[in-house]
Amino acid sequence: MYYTYPFVLSWSLLDAMACACLIIGSDTAPVRDVVENGRNGLLLDFFDVDALAETLLQACRKPQQFASLRRAARRTVLDDFDRKRHCEPAWLKIIDEVMRGE
């Protein structure tokens, strides 16, 4: 379960996704940056406690029902947040631009 508002997304969410955990998150801006409801996780209204409780119960009772979301969560991290292919080149580009005075 990953509920946050209005804070920025933390690496702990990406770590959980990389481990193919089922993501049940708050339908808030920082979480929507990475999780797409029904594709790689589940997003719920931040204040709907009943929906959260029911979704958590379903996840515990029928974990196999969410296998495709778990696989898609891992794929999202591998495709979009790989250090060598994405993060490191982006940081090196910023450093390069600063060094050139741009």
Q: pLDDT tens digit string along 71-96?
A: 999 999 999 988 888 888 888 999 99
Of the pLDDT bands very low, low, confident and very high (cuts 50, 70, 90), residue 23 is very high
Q: What percent of the chain has pLDDT over 70?
A: 100
Tell me how crowded residue 97 is: count the other CB atoms within 10 A of its CB. 10
Of the pLDDT bands very low, low, confident and very high (cuts 50, 70, 90), residue 102 is confident
42 phi and psi angles, rounded to 5 deg: -120, 130
Mean pLDDT (the chain) is 94
How far out from the chain centre does Cα 38 lie? 12
pLDDT at 83: 83
- Give, in order, the Cα–Cα distances in Å from 49 to each of 7, 44, 89: 20, 9, 41
Q: Is the pLDDT of residue 7 over 90?
A: no
In this structure, which long-range contacts are made by residues 63-67, counting pairs with CB atoms below 8 Å and at least 24 apart in sequence?
A: 63/22, 66/22, 66/42
**What class, spelled out in words, does domain 11-99 have in CATH?**
alpha beta
